[in-house]
Amino acid sequence: MRLPVETQSAGESFPWGGLLALSMAAFITILTEALPAGLLPAIGQGLGVSEAGAGQLVTVYAIGSLMAAIPLTTMTQGLRRRPLLMIAIMGFLIANTVTALSTSYILTLLARFLAGVAAGLLWALAAGYAARMAPDHLKGRAIAVAMAGTPLALSLGVPAGTFLGAILGWRACFGLMSLLTVGLILWVLAKVPDFSGEPASQRRTLRGVLRLPGIRPVLGVVLSFVLAHNILYTYIAPFLAGAGMAGRTDAVLLVFGLASLVSIWIVGVLIDARLRALTLASIALFALAAGLFWIGGSRPTAIYAASAIWGLAFGGCATLFQTASARAAGPAADLAQSMLVTMWNTAIAGGGLAGGLLLERFGPASLAPSLLILIALAWGLTLRARDHGFAAVNP
């Protein structure tokens, strides 16, 4: 992908400080999104709603992201990047502070919607921002470092939040995230460079980007894979309760998250040469995990093993999908990323809704088998995208 001269100023050095700040932004974004999954019973009690109602805090967050990503990215193509990044981060500060203090379910939903809007903008910026900070031959690795906050949030943040929620209360967890966000603001100002927006003559339309070879298969895989993930992840607490492991949610999420760390390390090392193989391996591992959750769902050892396999499948998927999208889109990477963000959050919202329906109508045992159909769809789309999207030969 040819980038403006300004984007190549990093020279041969690897911009760890700035990339780790982006990783911290990803950490806060994912923690804001996923923390309710580990605290559904407490949040439901605190706001006077059912667990399925509390699960809609995840759904409305996703709706905010999917509604905002494409319009905001389109409207801000010409604006400088760091001010936009700061606006997104400030959105998390406001939303998490309101969530920590609110006693109203409706107000909390509105705060979560604002957080989702901030996430939609941040995710549309993150991959392209990371690529612009790094030398050409390290752009894939730069995206992997920037995305490392995702498995860290899942492996450390959500289990720690679940543990602290049991001790300090769920509101304190959101207050702590606000404090982390203040620190992130200072970090971004110190270490993240500013870049110009895209010149008017080079801007693409949504329709034009969507027609690029490989974009639609990538979006289809994102939808099916992430929908399957969120059906289970959003309702992991009631799923474990149905398996007689109600008090083990934090431990299961820790196993999942630690395996995710291993996954993103593997992806970071191999992605530049093995994007297609890594994507197929992730999908296959997810299918294995879903089957193990289904067949061995009453045995703790099987659940822990399935959680580890699930983490290996999921940890590097954001990097895989964003890199595939960026390669397929070329100079239109930011706009393609906004489409990916929209599709990703459509899947999150769908997971919250579909998982809630399955939970209320068929019980927690119905969650795991429902994943296999979606995983099979992701596998088929990836196999067909051999020439573009998840190409067998990397550019």
Residue 389 lies in a domain: no
Quick check: 199 pLDDT over 80? no
Highest mean pLDDT: which of 44-48, 302-306, 344-348?
Answer: 302-306
Residue labelled with tokens 């919607």: 113
220: confidence class by pLDDT, cuts 50, 70, 90: very high
Separation CA 393–CA 395 (nearest Å): 7
Q: Are 303 and 252 in contact (CB under 8 A)?
A: yes
- Residue-level pLDDT at 201: 61
Does position 394 have pLDDT exceeding 70, yes or no?
no
3-state secondary structure of 15: coil
- Percent of the chain that is helix, strand, coil (3-state, to 5): 85, 0, 15
DSSP 325-378: HHHHHGGGHHHHHHHHHHHHHHHHHHHHHHHHHHHHHH-GGGHHHHHHHHHHHH
pLDDT (0 to 100) of residue 86: 95
CA distance 181 to 148: 17
Enclosing domain of residue 63? 15-384
Across residues 15-44, what is the average pLDDT? 88
Answer whether residue 5 is part of any domain: no
7 belongs to a structural domain:
no
Residue 184's nearest CA partner among 325, 55, 29 is: 29
Question: In this predicted model, what pLDDT tens digit does every residue of 149-173 receive, in sequence order?
Answer: 877 786 677 777 878 888 888 898 8
Which pair of tokens denotes residue 37?
């999954």
| pLDDT tens track for 221-237 | 999 999 999 888 888 88
Q: What confidence score (pLDDT) does residue 348 get?
A: 78
Checking if the pLDDT of 118 tops 90, the result is: yes
Q: Is the separation of the CB atoms in 168 and 301 below 8 Å? A: no
Instruction: Please indicate, yes or no, if residue 390 is contained in any of the structural domains.
Output: no
Classified as helix, coil or strand, 244 is: coil
Q: Is 390 exposed, middle or buried (0-12, 13-18, 19+ CB in 10 A)?
A: buried
Q: Where is average pLDDT lowest: 2-16, 63-77, 327-341?
A: 2-16
- Record the tokens describing residue 340, joined without a space: 């990916």
Phi-psi region of 389 (alpha: psi -120 to 50; beta: other; left: phi over 0): left
Encoded tokens for 27 = 């950490």
Q: Is residue 201 part of a domain?
A: yes
Q: Does the residue 6 lie in any domain? A: no
Share of residues in the chain with pLDDT > 90 (%): 31
Most confident segment among 9-23, 243-257, 268-282: 268-282
Task: Report the number of distinct structural domains present in the chain.
Answer: 1
- Tell me, yes or no, whether 162 lies in a domain: yes
Could you tell me if 262 and 314 are in contact, meaning their C-beta atoms sit under 8 angstroms apart? no
Side chain identity at 204, as an amino acid letter? R
pLDDT at 306: 92
Instruction: Using the predicted structure, report yes or no on whether residue 202 has a pLDDT greater than 80.
Output: no
Backbone angles phi, psi at 8, to 5 degrees: -105, 20
Identify the sign of the CA torsion 206, 207, 208, 210. positive
Q: What is the DSSP code string of 93-107? A: HHHHHHHHH---HHH
Q: How confident is the model at residue 6 (pLDDT cuts 50, 70, 90)?
A: very low
Indicate if the pLDDT at residue 328 is higher than 60: yes
Residue 137 forms part of a structural domain: yes
Tell me if residue 316 falls in helix, strand or coil: coil
174-190 pLDDT per residue, tens: 999 999 999 999 999 99
Instruction: Inform me whether the pLDDT recorded for 280 exceeds 90.
Output: yes
DSSP 134: S
Of the given ranges (184-188, 279-283, 310-314, 366-370), which has the lowest mean pLDDT?
366-370
Please provide the average confidence, as pLDDT, over all residues in the chain.
84
**Residue 5 binned pLDDT confidence (cut-offs 50, 70, 90):** very low
**According to the model, what pLDDT value does residue 49 have?**
83
The predicted structure's pLDDT at residue 200? 65
What sign does the dihedral 361-367-372-377 (CA atoms) show?
positive
Angstrom distances, CA of residue 368 to CA of 155, 159, 265, 375: 21, 21, 27, 11
Mean pLDDT of 63-85: 84
78 or 381, which is more confident? Answer: 381
**Which CATH number fits the domain that encloses residue 96?**
1.20.1250.20
